[in-house]
Amino acid sequence: MSGRDTIQPFSRRALAALLGAGIIGFLAYLLLTAYGPDMRTGRDGGMHAMSVAATGFRGLFRLNEEAGGSSYLIRDKEEVEDLDLLVLTPQGPQDASKIAELVKERSTGDYGPTLIILPKWLTQPDPQNRAWVQAVGVGSPDLVAATLKEVAKDVKITQPVRTRRPVARWADQGIGFVLPRRGQAISGGGLETIVADPAGGAVLARLPSDIASVYVLADPDLADNLALKERRVARAALAMLWALNPDDPGTISFDVTVPGYGRSPNLLKLAFEPPFLAVTLCLFAAALLAGLHALVRFGPALAEARAIAFGKKALLDNSADLLRRAGHEHRGGERYVALTRDAVAHAVGVPADLSIERIDHYLDRLGPLQGERWSDLARRAIEARTRNELVRAARALHDWRKEVTRGHR
């Protein structure tokens, strides 16, 4: 069967479709690998600005936008060095070092204020919705205080249980905070109390610092999603955020690097961003052209030839090749002499019952070729020691055979 008769299992259109789908799938895999971590929704029930759980702060993020402010999610630590109000939402004492690092960075220059909202509740995932949580109690005061252990020493957390909901006022700003029945306040550590609860504990305090303004909101129930369902609580939370940054009210950055949603360095991502994007596009174009070159051929693809051909000629060629590879070509002279003897004897009518000596004597009488008789030519072929000697002797025998059998055909 020739190459033209070969049945193609797929049409060119099908191959092109498969190739295109493979390329698109591969590019999609690369993009998702590079940018997948940045596409997480944050609906994990955590206490951060992407969470829609009761203890999250997505509502505060949206409330500021609805009120005409600008809310930003900070996924890169380099973005915290600006004039915006930065809101930090640690999940517990495990984030103490991250909080200290961010506070230190913003304390090295002329940056905006920072608000740390302390954790309060112990929660477990809601079995009906993974984005929600169920409260199982309040966290230990010591663990809550440990969240600030690297930025404020010897702070004390109190968690009073009230029979009613008192109002704590920020007199300078005219803001009234409706405190929850299960409260949380902070004291000690040289903190400057801004808003105090009835027992004297600070609900909103300022860390001692001569460079940057770092505030602590001790009770997250004054700003989390569950608290904002009350209009007066939502109004007070928004007013507090705007009052903390009078130079640029309403511009608020919510950090999500502390809860683990920051951008991590990714070499693959660099390939899809300037200035390396141009190199990626060039490589993609080169690969596309190479694929088109391989797809569009000059004629049909040729079928591969057999390693061993059919027929007697192939058998002879293979045998000769085997002798050549073994270096025994010159040893075929005696067999060629016998073959020539039989052919000439049959052609000139030598009786078949004669011995080899008498046949050789008879062939010598047929006439010499350029002064050499049959026996001389045969001896040269038998005694050949190299391939070239054998070829010359075989050619001479062939010429002699043609000469003596010319009139006997």
Write the pLDDT tens digit of every residue in 320-362. 777 777 666 667 788 888 888 888 888 888 887 888 888 888 8
**pLDDT tens string 228-283:** 999 999 999 999 999 999 988 999 999 998 888 766 667 777 777 788 788 888 98
pLDDT at 166: 92
Contact criterion met (CB below 8 Å) for 295 and 15: yes
Listed in sequence order, the residues at least 6 apart from 102 whose beta carbon sits closer than 8 Å to its beta carbon are: 77, 80, 86, 88, 114, 255, 257, 258
Residue 63 is which amino acid?
L
Q: Where are the alpha helices (DSSP H) in 86-230?
A: 96-106, 141-146
pLDDT at 4: 47
* 22 vs 208: CA distance, rounded Å: 59
Kindly state the DSSP code that residue 106 receives in the 8-state scheme.
H
| pLDDT over 50 at 1, yes or no | no
**pLDDT tens string 375-394:** 888 888 888 888 888 888 88
Q: Confidence class of residue 2 from pLDDT cuts 50, 70 and 90? A: very low
Contact criterion met (CB below 8 Å) for 159 and 151: no
Q: Where are the alpha helices (DSSP H) in 165-276?
A: 231-244, 267-270
* 41 vs 266: CA distance, rounded Å: 19
Specify the length of the chain in residues.
409
* 155 vs 148: CA distance, rounded Å: 8
Contact criterion met (CB below 8 Å) for 116 and 96: no
Among residues 252, 256, 272, which one has the least CA distance to residue 76? 256
Backbone angles phi, psi at 138, to 5 degrees: -95, 155
* 44 vs 48: CA distance, rounded Å: 10
pLDDT at 121: 93
In angstroms, the Cα distances linking 87 to 75, 92, 152, 247, 398 are 13, 15, 17, 16, 105
